[in-house]
Structure 1
């Protein structure tokens, strides 16, 4: 019996992969398949690591920001209202005054233009789905499309 139990994770993997191949042949990206769920989980895991490395120093690990210096990302009305603007801020940084959840911030944010579209999508998926935010998957294509419309 012990020998069969050790194969259970492998069996689950193959079942999930068979669902994945069916959705790639006939389903759409937003069809809610096992493949979509796996993609979302991948983005969340990779995004968390990127967030810790590039963002948490200012916005803190809990996304609550740092006093009156750096705004929160947790339940941030400014961020949640415009995904494309958030892409541009990550790409090109931010200077000037902004109001987040009724509080004014005027600390510049450094551009993270060395991140790939995929990395930006991953970190944004993490941020947009953590600390009470629930926005769903931010795809590489969404980031690429939004990046084209950014003003330098």
Structure 2
């Protein structure tokens, strides 16, 4: 497939800037990257450990944006509010409408459990592939067809 139709969706975590270039090398057809971020990442916290984690995630997202820009891959962010399932569904519905013939890849190597589970649940709906950090390689999910 040409670069015009491969959407790469990432759940934002502290180390996504490490996984992203590795996947770009394996999948050079990626034409667009969308980073899904939990809304809490942009909130302040009085707990130093929580604040350190949130800052690390924000920095990782910024690093992914820089990497994508250096490769001329458009990148955008989706802010996901609780409950994650409904917010992810709405965002993916819009993204699928904007990219009707695209191939979708989900990188769930970071982010909250709720965000990753919501993205994983919708991957078959888009006929997407899911990258599992536990196995280090993409696995096909069930292919589902959206009826219009």
Please classify the TM superposition score into its range, dividing by the shorter chain length. Answer: 0.3 to 0.5
TM-score by length of 2: 0.34
- Please tell me whether Structure 1 or Structure 2 has the larger radius of gyration of its CA atoms: 1
Higher RCO (C-alpha under 8 Å, 6+ residues apart): 2
The structure with the greater share of residues assigned to helix is 1
TM-score by length of 1: 0.34
The structure with the greater share of residues assigned to strand is 2
